[in-house]
Structure 1
Amino acid sequence: MVLRLFSSIYVVVIAARLVCCMQCDIKSERRVDCFPESYPLSRDECVKRGCCYSPYKGNDDVPWCFFPQNYSYAYILTDLKEVSYGYEGLLKIPNDTVAFPVKTLPVLKLSVFLELEDRVRFKITDVNDNRYQVPLDVPKISTKTRDMTKYSLQFSAINETFNLKIIRTDTNVAVFDTSIAPILYGDQFLQISTHLPSTNIYGLGERHDSLRVDVNWKRIAFWAADRPPKVPETENLYGDHPFYVAVEPDGKSHGVFFLNSNAKEAVLQPTPALTWRSIGGIMDFYVFLGPNPEQVVQQYTAVVGKSFMPPLWSLGYHLCRWGYKTSNNTLGYVERMRKAKIPQDVQWNDIDYMDRKMDFTYDKNNFDTLPNLVDNLHSHGQHYVMIIDPGISDQPDKGSYPPYDDAIEMDVVMKDHTNSKPIRGKVWPGEVIFPDFTNPNIYPYWTKQLQRYHSQVPFDGVWIDMNEVSNFMDGSPENCYQNNTYDYPPYTPRVSGGKLFSRTVCPSSLQYISSNYDVHSLTGLFEMKATSHALKVIRKKRPFVISRSTFPSAGVYGGHWTGDVSSKWSHLKVSVAGILSFNMFGIPMVGADICGFGGSTNEELCIRWTQLGAFYPFSRNHNDIAGSPQAPVDLSEKAQNIIRDALIVRYTLLPYLYTLFYHSHVNGSTVARPLFFEFPSDSNTYSIDTQFMWGSGILISPVLDEGAVTVSAYLPAGYWYGPSGNSSDHEPIHSKGEVIKVSAPIEEIPIHIRGGHVIPCGNYNGATVTNTSNDFILLAVSDDAGKAMGHLYWDDGDSLDTLSNGNYVLLKFTMQNNTLVTSIQEGSKLIASKMRLMLVNLYGVNCVPKSVEANGVSVPFDYGPFEVAVQLPYLAMDEIIIKWTC
């Protein structure tokens, strides 16, 4: 029975208990949902949970049933005490629990780990600590004394409703604050909410949407799914990345990582606030204090793992298509690219190379010359990558298909809920079984299959697809097990298809470490680990793996492409946000299918997409079998010339890009980054996701609109060198933080170099990275004080363990007082002595030089309107001093 007393106060009788005076005077934007399962709902259903009921017209996302300020069934904090790692306590429910949508656990354990001065971790588990936890290897913290000068903790009073605040000390901003709503903790339902200090929130993927997350009741599901992206995106996609970066009102940043691999969702609301829900596992949160966004990502990758060091050839241009139909046609494209002198380092094949679409085979009729194709590529310094799907066909006769026979014999397959037989699905070859990549024996199994295939076709990298795991049916041929709470949980986040087993296997299926219900979204990550391991064993060189499905730490083992994007201008535009988000997720080797995968492109779109794709960290053209051909050589001669020029810019900048990947590998840095990462105090940058930066030194402003021949580019305050106004000629620009209109005819993509940076470049003179000479060029752009700095990392580009073996060099470039110096910061002097500097372009020199000397010897130079080009006698880069006098 419900008696209405005032507009904001109810008296509620529940199970013969009187709960008096609920405080329901809560603004609509501050309501936290108390009944997320369904709408509409009745008042009785709501008040049985002890919650407030008030229908809201005009926005269906605003909760009708929401928590009162004095919720009667909230956990209270007891037994809080200091321990060696920080704090621990108990959370208890003082009253009888209500179904929400499952019975909540009566006693929980709170553990707060004061791990580092800029990192706090807290876990909430049941007191027996026997729930599933994500098997992520986090580096151990050795020190026992914790520095808390950068943050403070505030707990609720003992025997009061539990809340936790993590507060930045110098600004008093709460970076995590659970006081907005009570936590809920049941066997298959977890919920926790936090205030957000601003609406500038980024991450929470995988999304195909704007970079900054909409906080107007945005609901984001996390559950790896085979779903082609849409614009705007409303459904969960291939990967699961429950991590966000938030910019606070004063420009400082922090990050929050929810370490949980079960199906979950995040609901953002205008308060601003965020509510996490998961249907399994535990609450395990990391909070990173930054204070700048680049540091937040570095702190995050210190937990999940820093990115792999890619082979240099993988930074070249890649070409692929589903629908080459024959190996001879595939080679024909390679030869046409060579003839057109368009750079290409890697040729790929999609599933049409396979025999009956079965893994680890090739069609001996249509692709009979595939081994010869790979030999041809290798003879020209090029490389080969092919697709592999996780589904292993069970159609061939016993003994005729080793991948299936070995999987059964080695017992490395996913099982049904009885653990008695393999669970089956249907994908490209028909009915299949699925390897269990969480099983330790998967490593010898997977390596054996790839080794056997490599002996026939000596591939260089592996493209793993369909690993959500994708299924062409819902569940299995035998149907998912009825009347169980794994396939049909009490609460299902708003995942695409409405069911956890939509286009995938039954969550009740069993794997080595747990049920698929727990580890489903880890499939892609564990397959990446097994594939990376196999490539190291087989090739004895750096592995190159590109995966569709990803989870935190995937960047340690490979890269990602953004899936089945469409050949549309809207997908071109939103791809920038996707590339930037995955760099935040610690997966810098990322790109979208250039020119689009689905549908048919047109020449203008393909040109503009290639110009942008030349600055994707992973640069690959790939399209669908049903679409029109879109390789560069399928376009007009004019288009080929434009595309060639764009790719030559990429190849020229490869030393800089390679150095950024080195910094990512060593420090956990981003490679492609949003403008606000470099200019966090400039609020104008917070919404920009149509421009981006390579590292801190290069700004890219691509053309993203049909028919456009200009770009409105925002230049943050500082000195920039690049195009301005109606001309594409480069000149110095002193910006106060302003938008400039830049000429961008179809032949151009606007690029600006930031003052204060030295950009190392290569002397591109061939079709591949391998054929690029060991000669280098420096672009040195001074800041207002005449200073600049930069680095160049270099090694042989393909060997394992070059850093630990010392087979590398890290050069440092410093410019000040009319002097540019190159020096060895780390590594091998022998490697540096074999590198030659042939040209230095100085920008921002405020005088006409009278003379220029290199290592004390006069050298020729040219002075243009805005630059000095210094010709050098190919000096060894171990130590060079260049001076100019005015």
Structure 2
Amino acid sequence: MELIHFTWPWRRGGDAHGFFLLNSNAMDVVLQPAPAVTWRTIGGILDFYVFLGPDPASVIGQYVEVIGYPAMPIYWALGYHLCRWGYNTSDSTWEMVKSLRNYKIPQDVQWNDIDYMDQFLDFTFDSKKFGTLPDMVKDLHVHDQRYVMILDPGISSSQPEGSYWPYDEGLKRDVFIKDAEGKTLIGKVWPGLTAYPDFSNEVTHEWWYENLLRFHEKVPFDGLWIDMNEPSNFLDGSTNGCPSNSLENPPYTPGILGGLLRAKTLCATAQQKQSIHYNMHSLYGLLEAKASANAMKRIVAKRPFVISRSTFPSQGMYSGHWLGDNRSQWKDLYTSIAGMLTFNLLGIPLVGADICGFSEEPQEELCVRWTQLGAFYPFTRNHNAIDMRPQDPTAFSPLARTAMKQALLLRYSLFPVLYTLFHHAHVHGHTVARPLMFEFPKDVKTYGIDKQFLWGKSLLVTPVLDPEVDYVDGYFPEGLWYDYYTGYALHSQGEDLRLHAPLDKINLHLREGSITPTQAPNLTLWVSSGQPLHLVTALSEGGAASGDLFWDDGETIDTSENNLYSYILFSVAQNVMTSQVLHSNVEATYITVETASFYGVKQKPSRVTVNSQDATFTYRDNQVLTVADLGLNLSQNFTISWMF
């Protein structure tokens, strides 16, 4: 056993630094009562990194530079996803999609859990219950929607010889993990007895791709949900148990579920191409995600969409993550914020929790509040367990359904913001959703805040996390904040404030000095992303602001790397807004700026000009100036100015 002990002076006067131990073996990480952390790992390679900051955001940027920058997601990954275990048939899945369309509720992606498979066999679908699945997927595509299905790594080993290509071909190519004696290790998962692909072997990646391609020719799916990839096993080790030796029973066993390295997974002595499973276990989900992402690139020739349960450093290069099987409880709603922020720190920004909770019966009020918070998860999916009542937005009262719809439309209107934040994550290693202390490291009151968070630098989200209340308490760091919806100003000295929060509202505030590009929302991001922009400027006390927009076709691989994008800076100073096109690409030429609102204009202007031409405007008593009907081409520099 190796004992690694670090003190951790994380912040002193706003300064920050970080340690990273890169090791794939089983380990404990123990928080001390003092400001210290202890790692105990039971073997393997010990790679140590120290990140000097000097601020929290820089620490994360340096960490991501080591592990690899997260992939730029395909545009529809940022839409609303709906799933449940227990749709039972493709027709019932299809009816769910049509129901959301009828209520004009936004939806980009429909998912299926293991129900769609024939006897839970990977790369199959049940021709009786899911016979219309190919037609459903074609219908989704006609409506600019997408389809994602689950895949588990366990490959059935008990089908009649010659009847199940994935296993037969896998044996031929020698792609499965072996036991200590060199025989194919057999465990048990949903389809019964199963073999486990060894994703540390490049031959396995090609076999995985060919399986996906063969299935894609039957059901043209758009993305993958890889589950059970710890790897999970209903048995401990294998059907034949595991040898009795120091690898299976090391001198020290970390505090893992079941108390054994083999508990509900594979034998530690199992053999993979790169090493024994004792060293490789924690890498399984990462390597499967890499195989899946690379296969999807080849199959669809677009950015791959993969969501994985198991993760490891570098995961963000290949997949996003959901926070696992939660419950329909208020506590789980609250703790999902910390989970989302943690994975953003770990370089996996495409993350979210199951909206409304996975298991237990959903409550209407909880589901509304969760949909409001979930609209601000970077990855937004409602997912439900088998035999539970439906919890999609159409399952509730008109009041609740409308509130959920409003929350999702709000998310879709903020797509330009979210997409630009993902660009900065991909290119610079920034977080998308971030803790307040990242932006206010000198304000010690922000250090423990886990009930609020920011999108980027400027959009503050204060969700309701308790039942039967129509208010929420939030902390506002010192400065000027504006209500996102109305533009009313809030001057904070660094204080807790109580906000009105009826059931149909999630509180959003804009930080002074920011410019936020938004769009009119629609039922899919394909339609929304073509709408004109509305620029919302939150002026600082001194009348300044800045913001930016990254734009491309939403799906081509490596647009940043190949200069196939547009990038525009917006700024305001001395009563003049200017746009500066730093990089231009044809994809942005069809987008126009239609409206601009300026929060914090201290008196009514006598004149407003757009590119030196007089323009009509409105001015409200709460110091909001709005200029409409602009029709400005985004690919050309423009100015908007006002005089008193």
TM interval, shorter chain, is over 0.9
Paired residue for 1:880, among 626, 631, 638?
A: 638
Larger relative contact order (Cα-Cα within 8 Å, sequence gap ≥ 6): 2
Q: What is residue 128 of structure 1 aligned with on the other side? A: none
* 1:714 maps to 2:475: yes
- Report the alpha carbon displacement of residue 872 of structure 1 after superposing the two structures with TM: 3.2
C-alpha displacement of 1:804? 2.6
Aligned to 1:425: 187
Q: Which residue in the other structure is 2:458 paired with?
A: 697
Q: In the alignment, which of 340, 350, 354 is matched to residue 579 of structure 1? A: 340
Q: CA deviation at 1:831?
A: 3.6
Residue 282 of structure 1 and its aligned partner are, at CA, apart by: 3.0
Report the AA paired with residue 560 of structure 2.
L
Q: Distance in 2 between matches of 1:880 and 1:777?
A: 14
* Structure-1 residue corresponding to 2:578: 821
* Secondary structure of residue in 2 paired with 1:771: helix
Q: Which residue of 2 aligns with 1:260?
A: 23
Counterpart for residue 344 of structure 1 = 107
1:736 alignment counterpart: 493
Counterpart of 1:129 in structure 2 is none
Residue 473 of structure 1 is aligned with which of 230, 235, 241? 235
Q: Is the CA contact (8 Å cut-off) linking 1:664 and 1:670 kept in structure 2?
A: yes
1:291 aligns with 2:54: yes
Distance 2:141 2:207 in 1: 27
**What is the identity, as a one-letter code, of the residue corresponding to 2:458?**
G
Note the C-alpha offset of 1:602: 0.7
Deviations 1:633-658 (CA, angstroms, capped at 9, x unpaired):
11111111101111111000000000
Residue number in structure 1 paired with 2:79: 316
TM-score (structure 1 length as normaliser): 0.72
Instruction: Find the counterpart in structure 2 of residue 196 from structure 1.
Output: 8
Q: Percent identity?
A: 49
Matched, 1:667 2:412: no
Structure 1 residue 707, shift from structure 2 partner: 1.1
Q: Secondary structure at the match of 1:511?
A: coil
Whether contact under 8 Å (1:854, 1:872) holds in the other structure is no
Within 5 Å, give how 1:412-811 maps onto structure 2. 412-418=175-181, 420-482=182-244, 484-722=245-483, 730-764=487-521, 766-772=522-528, 773-811=530-568
Counterpart residue type for residue 222 of structure 2: D
Q: Which amino acid aligns with 2:2?
A: L
Q: Deviations over 1:227-285 (max 9, x none)?
A: xxxxxxxxxxxxxxxxxxx3x22111111110000001122222322221110113321
Between the aligned partners of 1:862 and 1:551, the Cα distance in structure 2 is 52
Preserved contact between residue 618 and residue 627 of structure 2 (Cα < 8 Å): yes
Q: Does 1:387 align with 2:150?
A: yes
Whole-angstrom distance in 2 between the partners of 1:720 and 1:676: 16
Paired with 1:262 and 1:457, the residues of 2 have a C-alpha distance of: 38
> What SS is found at the alignment partner of 2:628?
strand
The equivalent residue for 1:410 is 173
Instruction: Decide whether the 8 Å contact of 2:81 with 2:107 is kept in 1.
Output: yes
List alignment gaps of at least 5 residues for structure 2.
none
Q: Amino acid of the residue matched to residue 803 of structure 1?
A: S
Task: Report the number of matched residues.
Answer: 641
SS of the residue corresponding to residue 770 of structure 1 reads helix
Distance between the aligned counterparts of 1:832 and 1:622, measured in 2?
A: 34
**In 2: Cα distance, 1:673 partner to 1:592 partner:** 16
Q: Which amino acid aligns with 1:731?
A: Y
Decide whether the 8 Å contact of 2:553 with 2:587 is kept in 1. Answer: no
Query: Alignment partner of 1:441: what SS?
Result: helix
Distance 2:363 2:540 in 1: 41
After TM superposition, list the pairs within 5 Å mapping 1:74-223 onto structure 2: 189-197=1-9
The separation in 1 between residues aligned to 2:254 and 2:495, in whole angstroms, is 43
What is the CA deviation profile of residues 550-574 of structure 1, one whole-angstrom value per residue up to 9, with x for unaligned ones? 0000001110000100000000000
For the Cα contact (< 8 Å) 2:603–2:623, is it kept in 1?
Answer: no
Shift of 1:856: 1.3
The answer to whether the Cα contact below 8 Å between 1:716 and 1:738 also exists between their aligned partners in 2 is yes
Alignment-mate amino acid for residue 373 of structure 2 = L
What is the alpha-carbon distance in structure 1 between the residues aligned to residue 13 and residue 33 of structure 2?
19
Query: Could you give the per-residue CA deviations for residues 66-92 of structure 1, whole angstroms, max 9, x where no partner exists?
Result: xxxxxxxxxxxxxxxxxxxxxxxxxxx
CA distance in 2 between partners of 1:689 and 1:804 (Å):
35
More strand, by proportion: 1
Cα distance in 2 for partners of 1:284, 1:679 equals 31
Q: C-alpha displacement at 1:494, in angstroms?
A: 1.1
Q: Secondary structure at the residue paired with 2:641?
A: strand
The normalised TM-score by structure 2 is 0.98
Shift of 1:866: 2.7
Q: Does the residue aligned with 2:153 lie in a helix, a strand or coil?
A: coil
Q: Please tell me the residue identity of whatever aligns with 1:643.
A: M
Matching of residue 857 in structure 1 with residue 608 in structure 2: no
Per the TM alignment, residue 825 of structure 1 is displaced from its structure 2 partner at its CA by 1.7
Instruction: Give the SS at the match of 1:801.
Output: coil
SS in 2 for 1:570: helix
Contact kept in structure 2, 1:599 and 1:626, CA below 8 Å? no
Deviation at 1:873, TM superposition (A): 3.1
1:354 paired to 2:111: no
Q: Distance in 2 between matches of 1:466 and 1:710?
A: 40
- Deviation of 1:195 after TM superposition, in Å, equals 2.1
CA contact (8 A) 1:437 1:530 kept: yes
Structure 1 residue 505: Cα displacement: 0.8
Deviations 1:558-610 (A, max 9, x none): 10000100000000000000000000000000000000001111100000000
| Residue 730 of structure 1: how far off its partner (Å) | 4.6
Larger Rg: 1
> Are 1:711 and 1:743, in contact at CA under 8 Å, matched by a contact in 2?
yes
Q: Matched residues in 2 for 1:684 and 1:514: separation?
A: 47
Unaligned runs of 5+ in 1: 1-188, 198-245
Question: Is 2:43 the counterpart of 1:280?
Answer: yes
Deviations along 1:798-826, whole A, 9 cap, x unmatched? 11121232221011001110011111122
Aligned to 1:132: none
Whether the 8 Å contact between 2:532 and 2:593 is mirrored in structure 1 is yes
Q: Could you tell me how far apart the structure 2 residues matched to 1:648 and 1:580 are?
A: 23
Q: 1:97-126 deviations in whole A, cap 9, x for unaligned?
A: xxxxxxxxxxxxxxxxxxxxxxxxxxxxxx
**Contact 1:190/1:283 (<8 A) preserved:** no
CA shift digits 1:427-453 (9 cap, x unpaired): 100000000011111221110000000
CA contact (8 A) 2:134 2:218 kept: yes
What one-letter code is carried by the residue in structure 2 that aligns with 1:470?
S
Shift of 1:763: 2.1
CA distance in structure 1 between the aligned counterparts of 2:237 and 2:143, rounded to whole angstroms:
46
Q: Is contact 2:487–2:624 with CA below 8 Å preserved after alignment?
A: no
Query: For 1:169-204, what per-residue CA distance to the aligned partner results, in whole angstroms no more than 9, with x for missing partners?
Result: xxxxxxxxxxxxxxxxxxxx111212232xxxxxxx
Letter in 1 for 2:183: K
Whole-angstrom CA distance in 2 between matches of 1:848 and 1:431: 74
Give the superposition deviation at 1:729.
Answer: 5.4
SS of the aligned residue for 2:232 comes to: coil
Deviation of 1:485 after TM superposition, in Å, equals: 1.3
Partner amino acid, structure 2, of 1:691:
Q
Paired with 2:90 and 2:173, the residues of 1 have a C-alpha distance of 33
Within 2, Cα distance between the matches of 1:489 and 1:680?
42
Give the superposition deviation at 1:702: 0.4
